[in-house]
Amino acid sequence: MSTIPLTLLFNQLKKEEFDLLRQFRDFYDQEVRKVQVQFFPRYGASGAKVILARFAEHGGVPYIIKMANKNDINREWNACSDVKSYFNDAQVAPPKYSGDIGAISYTFHGSTDTTEFNSTELNDLLFKDKNNIEANLKILKNLYETNFDTAYQSANRSKFSWCSEYEWYLRERGADEMIEIAIGSQKDKEKVSLLGFEILNPLFYIDQLDAVDEGLLGPIHGDLYASNIVLDRNKYPRLIDFCWSKKRGHLLKDFVLMECSLRFMLLPKYLCLDSIIEIDKRLNQCITFDKPELIDNIIKNSKSISFFEYELLQYVKYLRTIAKKTYKDLNFPIHYMKAMYIILYGLLKFHTYSIHRGILTLGLLSDEIYRNTK
């Protein structure tokens, strides 16, 4: 994090972005002439920009400022207002506007170091160092068992429609084109061959998932990826980007979103395809959702498993274990698989996700759902 005179930042930001930063400077401390800033090396699909700023030359509380189009900022402000009683990190200052964009400011709770401050996102630590697994699991534990504790306690059982509850996560069926390209001339067939497997065509099966079920609904973050988890200097997780938070949403979303991003986006793409497909095959079996501890058998029974695959399995086992404990429902395996099917289907719209492995997983999941619900 570097200390820069506010006037010099003008050259690093668009005119409207500079004006937004100045507005927040005035809101927090009009006397400040220099600001400490850290630009996050991430631009999401929405084109949002995220800056860590401290409006003081030495010390002071840091703020995470998100800049995006006005509609997205207004949606995030309203979402934060709805869930701030359940998530401490959702406490935000009123939004500011300049031209066609707006900004919202999150207080970086618990970070008041008066010397230096540098923040990292959780995805900066994943699949990087074999010595980080236990530390990363501790981060996930703090996230799900501390940050979400109040939200989970407020959840209750209720009926919901898969179609309406997960409509946004299909992302307007933007993945259809990617799937059609991947399966080629088989796109009009009910079953397709892919990577040595015969699977149900996801283009057909996605329309069969609409139904009304009873599950656990409560406050959710709604967009929980590793890049939306920022760590303070003590590696304690803080949530940002509450744009898709809801006071009453299907609780499994925040677990499934994380698992999908770990398996199909963050896992290094250069791993042996045959090996990771075998792992995908096992992870997509209903039994590993119902009894996550059996994921350990994938490691024991594998002739050769890479460090990154081992790391992935540890994270998935934790996520499914805490999700099952939280959900407290006999239908947990089926509901988790359905949620994963819909969420993953939507995510395959993005080129950062492994399209062929993703389609294979959709096919394997549909087979498991069908066999265990007929």
Q: pLDDT tens digits for 81-95? A: 999 999 999 999 999
Residues 83 and 134 in one domain: no
Give the residue-averaged pLDDT of 271-296.
95
Task: List alpha helices for 147-265, DSSP H.
Answer: 149-153, 162-165, 176-183, 202-205, 253-261
Q: What is the CATH number of the domain that holds 347?
A: 3.90.1200
Q: Tell me how far apart the alpha carbons of residues 112 and 101 are, in angstroms, rounded to a whole number.
A: 29
* DSSP structure class, residue 263: I
pLDDT tens digits along 333-355: 999 999 999 999 999 999 999 99
3-class secondary structure, 368: helix
pLDDT tens digits along 93-135: 999 999 999 999 998 865 545 444 567 889 999 999 888 999 9
**Domain limit, last residue, from 118, 151, 172:** 118
Q: What is the CATH number of the domain that holds 98?
A: 3.30.200.20
Residues 112 and 131 in one domain: no
Averaged confidence pLDDT in the chain: 90
Residues 71 and 148 in one domain: no
Q: What's the maximum distance between 2 C-alpha atoms anywhere in the chain?
A: 68
Residues 55 and 128 in one domain: no
**Domain limit, last residue, from 118, 145, 175:** 118
Q: Tell me how far apart the alpha carbons of residues 341 and 364 are, in angstroms, rounded to a whole number.
A: 10
Helix-helix angle 355-373:273-283, to 10 degrees: 30
By residue range, what is the domain housing residue 13?
2-118
How confident is the model at residue 43, as a pLDDT?
Answer: 45
Whether the model pTM is above 0.85: yes
